[in-house]
Copies of this chain bind each other. A is one copy, B any other.
Amino acid sequence: MSALCLNVSSVYSLSEEGYVSEGSPVLLYIDRRRSYLVRAVEGEVLHTHKGVIDLGSLVGKRYGEYVESHRGERFWILKPLIYDLITSFRRKTQVIYAKDMGLILVYAGIGPGSLVVEGGTGSGFLTAILAYHVRPSGRVYSYEIREEFLKLAKRNLESVGLLEYVELKNKDITEGIDEVGVDVVVLDLATPWKAVPHAHRSLRGGGVFVSFSPTIEQVVKTSEALSQYGFIDVWTIEVLVREYKVKKGETRPEMRMVGHTGYITFARKILD
Give A residues with C-beta under 8 Å from B: 12-14, 18, 29, 31-32, 62-66, 76-79, 81-83, 98-99, 101-109, 111-113, 115, 129, 132-133, 135-136, 181, 183, 204-208, 214-217, 219-220, 223-224, 232-244, 246-263, 265, 268-271
Query: When the two chains form their complex, are residues B270 and A217 in contact, meaning their CB atoms are under 8 A apart?
Result: no
In the bound assembly, the distance between CA atoms of A165 and B180 in angstroms comes to 30
Contact residues in B for A77 (Cβ distance below 8 Å): 205-206
Query: When the two chains form their complex, are residues A252 and B256 in contact, meaning their CB atoms are under 8 A apart?
Result: no
Query: When the two chains form their complex, are residues A83 and B103 in contact, meaning their CB atoms are under 8 A apart?
Result: no
Contact residues in B for A261 (Cβ distance below 8 Å): 255
A-B contacts, 22 listed (Cβ < 8 Å):
A14-B115, A18-B205, A31-B232, A63-B206, A64-B270, A66-B270, A81-B107, A81-B208, A102-B102, A111-B135, A112-B135, A133-B133, A215-B251, A216-B216, A217-B249, A217-B250, A237-B242, A238-B241, A239-B239, A239-B240, A255-B258, A257-B259
Query: When the two chains form their complex, are residues A263 and B244 in contact, meaning their CB atoms are under 8 A apart?
Result: yes
* A-B pairs, 8 with minimum CB distance: A64-B205, A102-B102, A257-B259, A81-B109, A253-B260, A64-B271, A78-B206, A102-B106
Q: A244 touches which one: B205, B206, B219, B253 (CB < 8 A)?
A: B219
Q: A259 touches which one: B99, B107, B255, B271 (CB < 8 A)?
A: B255
Query: When the two chains form their complex, are residues A136 and B109 in contact, meaning their CB atoms are under 8 A apart?
Result: no
Q: A217 touches which one: B14, B244, B248 (CB < 8 A)?
A: B248
Query: When the two chains form their complex, are residues B244 and A111 in contact, meaning their CB atoms are under 8 A apart?
Result: no
Nearest CB on B from A14, distance (A): 6
Q: A242 touches which one: B135, B240, B269 (CB < 8 A)?
A: B240
